[in-house]
Structure 1
Amino acid sequence: MTGPVWITSTPPTPNGDLHVGHLAGPYVAGDVLSRFLRAESRSVLYTSGIDDHQSHVQVRGLKDGGKAAEEIADAYGASIVRTWRSAAVSLDRVVLPRRDAGYARAVQKFFRRLYDAGHIEARTTPLPYCVPCERWLYEAYVVGVCPHCGVSSHGNACEACGRPNDCGDLVDPRCALCGQAAENRPCERLYFPLDPHTETLVAYWSTVRMPPHLRALCETMAADGLPDIAVTHPADWGVGVPVVGFEDQRIYVWFEMAPGYLVQTGRADRPAAADSAGDPASVQFFGFDNGYFHAVLFPALYAAGGRTDALAVAFQVNEFYRLREQKFSTSRGHAVWGDEVIEEYGSDVLRHHVCADRPEGRQTSFDRPALEGTRRHLDALWNGWLERLFDAVESECGGRVPGEEPTGAEWESLRARLLASLAELREAYGPAAFAPRRAVALLDEIVHCVTDFAHVQAHQAQRPEGGAHGRAALAAQLAVASALSAWAAPVLPVGAARLARVLGLPAERPVTAAALEVPRHGRRLARSDGPVFGSVLDYAAAGGERTPETTVSGTNPPALEESC
């Protein structure tokens, strides 16, 4: 993957603010990859959206005293964008479906293209109905037992096993609003049969990078026979169905997301047969519970619609991040909210913690005392070393970078260890073997190594003529500090930018060996109050060159150029 890159993180549902589980999943991780590639001068577009039309939004409003879905979506959508910014998640483009004049048109056009080509057809099937509420039940409106794994599930898809259901095949369905048992009634809806696309999907799965858990889900579904998926529901919230006779229904929100991703790049109106050569490689970040949509439904829709240019080359999948042995849940209020944690701890602490504890290939569990432990860890190890270094430069060199160059066997040994760690760090940051957990462990090891070096070299001052040797050791540590301001930036952009400012260096430099160099001789360190890593600052205030702004969808998305 050497050309331009398009990174997506699943649009969150605005039925609540972002919680720590969300940040530990696609959003911080997508930002880490984006920052690494951008610093390499790669052309990157990092996009997401606000998933306004999820039924969970309308259900939240009904449960909150009958508030309108629009009110819920707008309030929490704005809160989500603020939390992204506070967490230094620097998205290039955020699509707001109800504010983008072309969004609904693009979704309906994509739907109609598939309908006219015969890929979407009408079926009459059982759908749960709540008599007391006089409401058809689908997705968030219905709760029952998953027909595949036997655990509690909402309609249309099971979070536990990741497989779709048809709502009418849920065992013991009941209304999520009143709790009463539902009855299955015949309902005519429009369906997208997946089975005709099995061969295409199997071929695609052989080329896309994905973890074994998701691959097992895909292959199991194919072996069992891919189902027909209802792509409309009787509802009044969402994008209208552009088919005569179904005006009282709305397009299934997970169908909507497929063309919604195209809107994020500004390519929704591209002709189906257009040449896709030179298009950016797409890397998609999402949780396993959304795996079927991204790996089965969307690729089949793109293939049917002639939009294979939208197919991802890699899926970066996180498992559930749990809280007190249960999954984070916005709808149940079982969460620790991201904005509250960032206000108390700052983005560096949160980002270090959720990257180190990221649920890669396994479920992990958030613990507030452990988060406090991360703050103490950054303060004692990272900030402790830097404060001792800056104090020594102040007392020994008048606060200026010494003129001596790093030298000696100890420096050469440290440098060799650092360069070996750098090679592994670049691999952990890169799209082919992306692993934030490993990246954070390597950064911690780098700081441990230089801390050990600093303690040993402090004894240089006891030598009768050790002044020059001591200053050379300080220069060596400043070189490592310079490297850390670049190498840690993808994970800890606020602290890294602040460190770069102290050293008089630009922020967001490449993660390369060139960063391991002594700052300009004689430069006075621009120290400021507070710790370098862990301060409650935004990225711009810390000295970053690129303010992490999110942008409402418009007609001119950022262009993706071939990298030089």
Structure 2
Amino acid sequence: MDQPKRYLITSALPYANGLKHIGHLAGAYLPADIYVRYLKAQKRDVVYVCGSDEHGTAIPIQATKEGTTAQAIIDKYHPIMEQNFKDLGIGFDIYHRTSDPLHHETAREFFTALNNNGDLEIKESEQYFDEQANTFLADRYIKGTCPNCGYENAYGDQCERCGKSLSPDELINPVSTLSGNTPVKKLTKHWYLPLDRHETFLRNWILKEHANDWRATVVGQCKSWIDGGLQARAVTRDLDWGVKVPLPEAEGKVLYVWFDAPIGYISATKQWALNNEKDWRPYWEDKDTKLVHFIGKDNIVFHCLIFPVMLKLHGNILPDNVPSNEFMNLEGDKMSTSRNWKIEMQDYIDDFVNKENGGTQMADVLRYYLTLIAPETKDSEFTWQGFQDANNSELVSIFGNYVNRSLVLMHKLCKGKVPPLHAELLNDLDNSVIAEIASAKEKIESLLEQYKFRDALFEVINLARTGNQYMQKKEPWIVAKQVGDNGEPTKDAQDLIDNTLHICLQLCANLAILVNPFLPFTARKMCHLMKVVDKMLEWENAGKMKLLSVGYSLRAPELLFRKIEDSEIAYQLEKLRSAVVNRDTAAADETKKMEETKEEKPNVKPEIVFDDFAKIDLKVGKIVSAEKVEKADKLLKLAVDLGFETRTIVSGIAMHFAPEDIVGKQVTVVTNLAPRKMRGIESNGMILMAEDNNGKLHFINPETDVNPGAGVS
């Protein structure tokens, strides 16, 4: 396959709603940076773009938590994230932001082009509306009981206890997080991207063209979505934070964040081009450009199905590959910001990089370990013990030890200068090491081209291991004991020492080139020690044996890495445990505060007029049968006699009443509620209940027996 004319590399835009953890770093940013550094060492035309995703409900929700504005939130976290990435060696060509006017202009143009071409469709649907707040509710502004696990604080898009993806309609007893009131359904109009029109294209493009060169997990997830039947997705939403929809009839609506965020790659490229007096169009419109998206697996659907359809309709190139990583767990559990089970990039920088015994070498230690355990094909796990072992047993004892010994022995046995190579004295061991240096370049290059960064890093360390083994077999310090009358090694002995250390030093120079994509700070420190410019790190120099000139003086050796002590690991483990305790304490305090507030100030709903109340049809009913709903601890399925008919009603009272104890009970029923499915059962009404100070529920029923169907007023 011919080499592309240019490359455009992207990493998923991180939400600017808080600090990001090392799981994020390992998923979408470190692999992309490794690939980009390799491409740039190859002197290829490559642009690496990213930026903060500053729209969507996550931003105003965080603003509410911090008691500030959405704008203040993005202005706070954008520069922190940008600096975090820089401190850990992530070398974006531009780190943009979707709040920038250029992005708003680009996103609106994109929407307008699709809309004018008839690629979007308009639909009306009922969505939850908070009457007190006078606003439609995004999924994250709705909470309720999870139908899967019974967790009472599940969001309208996902339950954070069991992880199940949800829709607001699935929640039991949904409430608005803005007012605490039960939302109502209200008709609204939105623009949709009809993915179902593009099923044939996606099936051919992904499941045929890329079935063998994309990661199996990516193809598998795409196939599952396609086979399940593609549905139209809303492009707009009712929200006051985001890119305004550029249509007069769409007042109060913004572009859905899933639609506007990936367009951020294009606006970032535009800004990069403006900064560098370049033309951005070839990077998005020329088929000689190779577009690669680096993401985590939670973004597969957006980058492999939805965004490619958008790009195709807009006349842009399609991604050549989407190397998605699985999730990285932490000490036996899923890494999670909401559960405070995480290692934030800022925390690592503060504890290791910015410490007196830290520095950029410690940034490279994290890069090394995250690549070593990269979740390329399955979920992996970060442990502090594994982090310590990787540093002490591999970076210190193998890589750093080899480089240090080579420089120490050169200064001791060769007067601090690169010794000559006596070709006539080379033996099979010497030649095999020289051959291995050349073959290492080919192996690593092939693996990097296939996005197998973990395997490629192994080959780099393996070359350092080969160097250590070679030095041990050659034992130049022993050969140096063959001295003449002057007390110096004999000429024959010195010639053998020269050959050994010449090969060892050339191997060191090759290690600097090969490790540069993975550990850029280390590669530059090695260049400093060898007194060569960074230009030596260009990929074409790898595999060569004349990188360091004979007779050239090198600097005194310095340790590339330091040992990590047990006390440092113990501190990090205790810090992690304390964070969870603090989280649980804060949650308990919040619950207590809510209960106290509830006792002090009853939840009074907004005032209504009589005509509103008159719309509610209340009748007396009698429970004729009751049974528990399978896999739902809180739900009972009731058959209620209303006189004129018997209805099925699903009620969340199973924690308060045994089914057999309520058969025959009179109840007050709201009979004109729209039917609603819960756990697959259609519920046709609501039982009115009262809750005492202890949280116990009580039926609201007549004092004496009344015929079923009697009206309540």
Separation of aligned partners in 2, 1:384 and 1:272:
48
Q: C-alpha displacement at 1:506, in angstroms?
A: 3.0
Residue in structure 2 matched with residue 290 of structure 1 by the alignment: 299
**Offset at residue 171 of structure 1 (A):** 4.0
Report the AA paired with residue 318 of structure 1. N
1:315 alignment partner, SS class = coil
What does residue 92 of structure 1 align with? 93
> Do the aligned residues in 1 keep the contact of 2:244 with 2:253 (CA within 8 Å)?
yes
* Aligned counterpart, 1:532: 560
- CA gap of 1:462–1:54, structure 2 versus 1, over 3 A, is farther
Which whole-Å CA distance do the structure 1 matches of 2:373 and 2:540 have between them? 22
* Larger RCO (alpha carbons 8 Å, 6+ apart): 1
In structure 2, C-alpha distance between the alignment counterparts of 1:272 and 1:78, rounded to whole Å? 28
2:531 to 504, 512, 520: 504
Find out whether 1:487 has 2:514 as its counterpart: yes
- Cα distance 1:411–1:162, how it changes in 2: closer, same or farther (>3 A)? farther
Is this contact kept in 1: 2:284–2:316, CA < 8 A? Answer: no
> Out of 385, 398, 404, which is 1:369 matched to?
385
Look up the match of 1:337.
344
Task: Mark the CA change 1:241 to 1:442 in structure 2 (over 3 Å): closer, same or farther.
Answer: same
Partner of 2:414: 397
Give SS of 1:322's match: strand
1:450 is aligned to 467
Once the two structures are superposed, the pairs formed by residues 239-278 of structure 1 within 5 Å of their partners are: 239-266=243-270, 276-277=285-286
Match of 2:447 among 422, 428, 432: 428
> Aligned pair 1:80/2:88, yes or no?
no
Contact 2:138–2:239 (CA<8 Å) still a contact in 1?
A: no
**Structure 1 residue 77: Cα displacement:** 0.8
In the alignment, the residues of structure 2 paired with residue 26 and residue 445 of structure 1 have an alpha-carbon distance, to the nearest angstrom, of 26
Q: Identify which range, 276-285 or 40-49, moves more after superposition.
A: 276-285
1:51 deviation in Å? 0.3
Task: Flag the 1:524–1:442 CA change in 2: closer, same or farther, 3 A.
Answer: same
Q: Which residue of 1 aligns with 2:401?
A: 384
- The CA deviation at 1:202 is 1.8
Give the superposition deviation at 1:418. Answer: 3.1
Letter in 2 for 1:308: N
Tell me the amino acid that sits aligned with residue 119 of structure 1. D
Contact kept, 8 Å, 2:132 with 2:179, in 1: the verdict is no
Distance 1:171 1:95 in 2: 37
**SS of the residue 1:266 aligns to:** helix
Tell me the distance in 2 between the aligned counterparts of 1:70 and 1:155. 24
Describe the shift of the 1:146–1:192 C-alpha distance in structure 2 as closer, same or farther (beyond 3 A).
farther
The answer to whether the 8 Å contact 1:422/1:512 transfers is no
**Aligned counterpart for 1:61 among listed residues 56, 60, 63:** 63
2:313 paired residue among 290, 300, 304: 304
Matched-pair contact (CA < 8 Å) for 1:348–1:533: no
Is contact 2:50–2:94 with CA below 8 Å preserved after alignment?
A: yes
In 1: Cα distance, 2:553 partner to 2:414 partner? 9
Counterpart-to-counterpart distance in 2, 1:514 and 1:39: 14
2:123, 2:548 → 1: CA distance? 69
Q: In the alignment, which residue of structure 1 is the partner of 2:367?
A: 351
Counterpart CA distance in 2 for 1:162 and 1:442 is 37
The alpha-carbon deviation at position 211 of structure 1 amounts to: 1.6
SS at match of 1:122: strand
Q: 1:149 to 1:51 in 2, by over 3 A?
A: farther
Deviation at 1:227, TM superposition (A): 0.8
- Once residues 422 and 481 of structure 1 are traced to their aligned partners in structure 2, the CA distance between those partners, rounded to angstroms, is 13
The answer as to whether partners of 1:486 and 1:515 remain within 8 angstroms in 2 is no
Q: Secondary structure at the match of 1:127?
A: strand
Secondary structure in 2 aligned to 1:285? strand
Matched letter for residue 527 of structure 1: A
491-500 or 393-402, which moves further after superposition? 393-402
SS at match of 1:399: coil
Q: Does 1:37 align with 2:39?
A: yes
Picking from 534, 540, 546, the partner of 1:517 is 546
Q: 1:506 to 1:176 in 2, by over 3 A?
A: farther
Deviations 1:13-58 (A, max 9, x none): 1112231111111111101111111111111001111101132122
2:6 corresponds to: 4
Further displaced range: 508-517 or 246-255: 508-517
Q: Distance in 2 between matches of 1:174 and 1:450?
A: 64
Q: Mark the CA change 1:413 to 1:242 in structure 2 (over 3 Å): closer, same or farther.
A: same
Match of 1:539 in 2: none
The Cα of 1:95 is off from its aligned counterpart by: 1.8
Give the AA of the match of 1:204: W
The CA distance in 2 between the partners of 1:332 and 1:162, in whole Å, is: 12
SS at structure 1 position matched to 2:249: coil
Query: What are the Cα deviations for residues 389-436 of structure 1, in whole angstroms up to 9, with x where unaligned?
Result: 211111112211112357322111222233333322111111xx1111
What code does the residue aligned with 1:122 have? I
Decide whether aligned partners of structure 1 residues 497 and 288 sit closer, same or farther in structure 2, where only a CA change above 3 A counts: same
Q: 1:378 to 1:184 in 2, by over 3 A?
A: farther
Residues 322 and 226 (structure 1), Cα distance of their counterparts in 2 relative to 1, 3 Å cut: same
- Offset of residue 274 of structure 1: 12
One-letter identity of the residue aligned with 2:123 = R
In 2, distance between residues paired with 1:114 and 1:160? 39
Residues 391 and 563, structure 2, Cα contact 8 Å, conserved in 1: no
Residue 317 of structure 1 is matched in structure 2 by 324
Counterpart of 1:419 in structure 2 is 438
Structure 1 position 252, deviation (Å): 0.5
Please state whether the residue corresponding to 1:401 is helix, strand or coil.
Answer: coil
Cα distance in 2 for partners of 1:203, 1:409 equals 53
2:596 aligns to what?
A: none
SS of 1:520's partner is coil
Deviates more, 1:168-177 or 1:364-373: 168-177
* DSSP 3-state at the match of 2:404: helix
- Of the structure 1 ranges 312-321 and 143-152, higher mean CA displacement relative to structure 2 is found in 143-152
Partner of 2:203: 202
CA contact (8 A) 1:138 1:156 kept: no
How far did 1:501 drift?
A: 2.0
Aligned AA for 2:306?
L
**SS where residue 314 of structure 1 aligns?**
coil
Do the aligned partners of 2:130 and 2:179 also contact (CA within 8 Å) in 1?
no
Letter matched to residue 90 of structure 1: G
Contact 2:411 2:556 in 1 (8 A): no
Contact persistence 2:175–2:183 (CA under 8 A):
no
Q: Does the CA contact (< 8 Å) of 1:125 and 1:168 recur in 2? A: no
Contact 1:241/1:249 (CA < 8 Å) preserved in 2? Answer: yes
Aligned-pair CA distance for 1:137 = 3.2
| 1:327 equivalent in structure 2 | 334
Contact 1:162 1:292 in 2 (8 A): no
- Report the counterpart of residue 115 of structure 1 in structure 2: 115
Query: Residues of 1 paired with 2:162 and 2:452: CA distance?
Result: 24
**Residue 226 of structure 2 aligns with which residue?**
222
Deviation at 1:471, TM superposition (A): 2.1
Distance 1:535 1:76, change over 3 A: farther
TM-score by length of 2: 0.68
Q: 461-470 or 52-61, which moves further after superposition?
A: 461-470
Shift in CA distance, 450/114, structure 1 to aligned 2, threshold 3 Å: same
* Matched ranges for 1:55-204 at <5 A: 55-64=57-66, 66-99=67-100, 101-129=101-129, 136-142=136-142, 167-172=167-172, 174=174, 177=177, 183=183, 185-188=185-188, 189-204=190-205
Q: Is the 8 A contact 2:437 2:543 kept in 1?
A: no
TM-score for both structures, normalised by structure 1? 0.85
Provide Cα deviations, 1:511-550, integer angstroms capped at 9, x if missing partner: 6544443511122212365x225799xxxxxxxxxxxxxx
Q: Write out per-residue CA displacement over residues 475-505 of structure 1, whole angstroms, 9 at most, x where no aligned residue.
A: 1100100100101100011101110221123
**Larger CA Rg, structure 1 vs 2:** 2
Alpha-carbon RMSD: 3.4
- Alpha-carbon distance in 2 for matches of 1:144, 1:128: 13
